[in-house]
Amino acid sequence: MRNTYHRLIRNYFCRMIFEYRIQEDLTQLQMAERLCMDERSYIDLEHGKNGCSVVTLILYLVFECPDSDAFLLDLEKLYQQAAEEKQKDRVPAVSR
C-alpha cells in the first residue's frame, strides 16, 4: 500500500507543479529556482521520474501553491479512493 501512496503523491505533485508552471508562464529553470533545486532535478520531478522531498513539498505549498487547502483536500480524496480500491481487492467474491 505504501508504494501505491508513494506513486499517487508523485503523480499528483508532478501534475500540480506542471499546471502551476504553465499557468504562471514560468520556465522549468525558474520553477526549479523557486523550489531551491537544480533544473535537472526539477525536470525529473515534473516528469514523474522522481518523487519530491518534504522540503520541496513544503516550499511549494507555502510559497507557490495557489490554494494549499485545496491541494491537500484533493490529495486526501485520492488517498481515500486508493484505500477503497485496495479494500475492494480484499473482499472475497460471494459464491452462489
Fold (topology level) of 2-84? 434 Repressor (Amino-terminal Domain) (1.10.260)
Give the integer Cα–Cα distance in Å for 86 and 49: 24
94 alpha-carbon distance from chain centroid: 36
Cα dihedral across residues 26, 51, 47, 79: positive or negative = negative
Task: State yes or no: pLDDT of 59 exceeds 90.
Answer: yes
| Nearby residues of 11 by Cβ (< 8 Å), 6 or more positions away | 48
Task: State yes or no: pLDDT of 91 exceeds 90.
Answer: no
Pair 31, 17: CB distance under 8 Å: yes
Predicted pLDDT at 92: 62
Distances (CA, A) of 56 to 19, 75, 80, 81, 96: 16, 16, 24, 25, 52
pTM assigned to the model: 0.84
For the chain, domain boundaries: 2-84
